[in-house]
Structure 1
Amino acid sequence: MALLDNAKDVLPLSSIAELLTAKVRTLKMYEDKGLLPSKKLNKKLYSINDVKIIAFVHYLASVKKINANGIKYILEMLDNNMDEKNRTAFLELVEKNLEKLSGVDVTDVEVI
């Protein structure tokens, strides 16, 4: 049996929205603002690794109330100043903290 490949693009935004209890429209807004991992226009599927970034973006926007420019800056800092190992460890820590939040703590964002 083959191991799962967390980098393979298999999830549409609708499935990710369901996982995050967010609206698809909200995730599309993040996509339009360039906050989600870039994908080819004809293939908008995301990997498990991408879901971690998307969850982080949603957390920053909905819980911390950071605007799109602030989120872009944070993501840029992660990409430019952390190696893959540290970035992965950081996103795992964020994921653990997000699991502690209830659905009440996270409000869906319509405009950022």
Structure 2
Amino acid sequence: MALLDNNKDVLPLSSIAELLTAKARTLKMYEEKGLFPKKKELKKLYSINDVQIISFVHYLASVKKINANGIKYIIEMLENNMDEKNKADFLEIVEKKLEKLSAKEIVDVESM
């Protein structure tokens, strides 16, 4: 059995929305605002590694109530000022925090 390639783009946004218990339209809105990793293909697919960033963006918007410009700044800081190991460690910490949140604590942006 081959090892999984976490950088291979295989997941559509609708599947990621299911994983995050978010609305696909909400994630599409984040995507349109340029908050997700850039994709060149017409049919945009995301990797497992992209899911970490997407869940972080969703957390910042829905739980912390940070606007798109603030999220862009935070993501830019992550990309430009952290090496891959520190970035992965940071996103792992965020992922553990997200696991502790209940669905009630995450208010969908569309419902506002």
TM-score when normalising by structure 1:
0.96
Structure 1: segments with no counterpart, 5+ residues? none
Structure 2: segments with no counterpart, 5+ residues? none
Pick which of 38-47 and 69-78 moved more.
38-47
Alignment of structure 1 residues 1-112 onto 2, 5 Å: 1-110=1-110
CA-based RMSD: 1.4
- Letter in structure 1 aligned against 2:16: I
String of CA shifts for 1:54-92, please: whole Å, max 9, x gaps: 000000000000000000000000011100110000001
Matched residues in 1 for 2:85 and 2:24: separation? 30
Matched residues in 1 for 2:16 and 2:101: separation? 17
- Post-superposition, which runs of at least 4 consecutive aligned residues in structure 1 deviate over 6 A? none
Tell me how far 1:16 sits from its aligned partner.
Answer: 0.2
In terms of fraction of residues, the more helix-rich structure is 2
Equivalences, count: 112
Identity %: 79
Matched residues in 1 for 2:86 and 2:111: separation? 31
String of CA shifts for 1:81-112, please: whole Å, max 9, x gaps: 10011000000110011000010010111299
SS of corresponding position for 2:110: coil
